[in-house]
Amino acid sequence: MGNFRIPVIVLLLALLISGIDLWQERPRLSLPLPPDGRDRSVGAIHVHSIYSDGGGTIQDIRDAARRAGLDFVIITDHSTIQPFLNGKQGYAESVLVLIGEEVNTSAGHLLALGVDRHVHQRGPTGLQAVIDTIRAAGGLGIAAHPDGRRPWLDWSVARLQGLEILNADSEWRNDDLFELVRALVWYSVFPDASFNSLMDRPEAVLRRWDALSRQGRVVGIGSVDAHARLPLWGNRFLPFPSYERLFRLLRTYVITSRPLTGSATTDRATILDALRAGHCYIAVDGYERASRFTFEAMNGGTTAGMGDSLAYRPGSRLRIRAGSSGRVLIRLVRDGVTVAETIADEMDYPVTATGVYRAEVYQLRRRLPLWRETPRPWVFSNPIWVTHGFPLSRE
């Protein structure tokens, strides 16, 4: 009996320690910050329904989005826009449902947003034609899970408009066995912390994004890739992780040119225009709502936001505001290289060189074994281009 008791005690102690460590990933209380004069809308992009391999109806998705406090949700079922043809696009209560499509191509999966018709690749050499068709229709073509289990393979194509920087469905797949078991064991006690713990800085995707951004505008978004369907046997499945859980975890904020009006047609254009222009940022809101994040460049009386360009002149500055209730680390990146870091809620940086600048913000959480503050990914901005005086081409 004594020999049996010692391993049990050790196991229970290890379980307790892992729970204490995981507890540090819990959400912070979001600050009740006053309005800052910017029109933001928050949404979830890349959602699957029963029209393809998702577990819920459009109504289920809409209800989950409403409970999660979203302004919009973009449904992208595989190889179909049947929800659009069935009249599922539009407002229901306060949530705008937009219908896109996840297109299967020879290079990987491609989100087609704002096209309102089915697109597909014709033949093994038709990838560029698909991308051009989406752009010509006024849509937005985004490479899905570019470093995931079905990665994007062809980086030679022209006019690719966007990348998924974070994909919630891919994040848990690159964690080690300990992290997965810990999250599963403690999920019923710390559900938010369990999912937060599986989010990591997407190193390879960020390197690729930085390289592409030096050539032109490539919009970065966060995608939930939500299915609410964990297969069991036969036709049985668990609705896990739920739509609402993922909608609270990872979000894309868009900074729009005007407030949403309640008109589906008008607001669809407003949101898609903001995404297309890169006027957006990605937030792991499972840690804390990033509803007051700002990243701007200033040059005399001129101000440029994410997705825009600013002509360099002496005295130009970059300003980052995080708006967190706890300690955060702000990192400023230029052309893929970190040029400044600060443990503070804000950063003002004097610009001394042209380049492609973007901001990253990390929540600082104490982690075992040494109980040191560890940066955990929270916000990733879209870039600002500081140029020699020529505005960045929209192409």
CB 387 within 8 A of CB 312: yes
Measured CA to CA, the distance from residue 248 to residue 67 in angstroms comes to 9
Q: Residue 369: is the preceding peptide bond cis (ω within 30°)?
A: yes
Q: State both tokens at 204.
A: 């390879």
Task: Compute the C-alpha angle 122/128/133, nearest 5°.
Answer: 75
Measured CA to CA, the distance from residue 392 to residue 308 in angstroms comes to 7
Task: Determine how many CB atoms are found less than 10 A away from the CB of residue 301.
Answer: 5
User: Structural domains in the chain?
Assistant: 2-288 (3.20.20.140)
CB 111 within 8 A of CB 130: no
Measured CA to CA, the distance from residue 384 to residue 317 in angstroms comes to 12
CB 351 within 8 A of CB 318: yes
For residue 5, give the amino acid letter.
R
Name beta bridge partners: 283: 251, 379
For the chain, the farthest-separated pair of C-alpha atoms sits apart, in whole angstroms, at: 79
What local confidence, expressed as pLDDT, does residue 1 receive?
A: 52
Candidates 156, 186, 166; CA nearest to 251 is 166
Looking up tokens 């999966």 gives: 109
Name beta bridge partners: 311: 387
Q: Taking the chain, what is the end-to-end CA distance rounded to the nearest angstrom?
A: 72
What does 27-92 look like in DSSP terms, one character per residue? PPPPP-PPP-S-EEEEEEEEE--TTTT-SS-HHHHHHHHHHTT-SEEEE--BT--HHHHTT--EEE
Q: Which residues contact 352 (CB under 8 A, 6 or more apart)?
A: none
Q: State both tokens at 152.
A: 């994007």
What local confidence, expressed as pLDDT, does residue 3 receive?
A: 67
**What are the C-alpha distances in Å from 87 to residues 71, 77, 105, 141, 292?**
19, 15, 26, 23, 34
Angle of the 2-23 helix axis to the 177-186 helix axis, nearest 10:
90
**What are the C-alpha distances in Å from 103 to residues 76, 79, 130, 187, 319?**
9, 5, 9, 33, 38
What local confidence, expressed as pLDDT, does residue 10 receive?
A: 80
What pTM does this model have? 0.95
CB 72 within 8 A of CB 41: yes
pLDDT digits (tens, 9 = 90+) for 169-202: 999 888 888 899 999 999 999 999 999 999 999 9
Candidates 315, 314, 320; CA nearest to 333 is 320
pLDDT digits (tens, 9 = 90+) for 328-384: 999 999 999 999 999 999 999 999 999 999 999 999 999 888 889 999 999 999 999
CB 95 within 8 A of CB 70: yes
Q: Which residues of the chain have pLDDT under 70?
A: 1-3, 33-34, 389-395
Q: Which residues contact 372 (CB under 8 A, 6 or more apart)?
A: 366
Q: Which residues contact 71 (CB under 8 A, 6 or more apart)?
A: 41, 42, 43, 94, 95, 96, 260
What local confidence, expressed as pLDDT, does residue 392 receive?
A: 54
Candidates 151, 193, 145, 191; CA nearest to 170 is 145
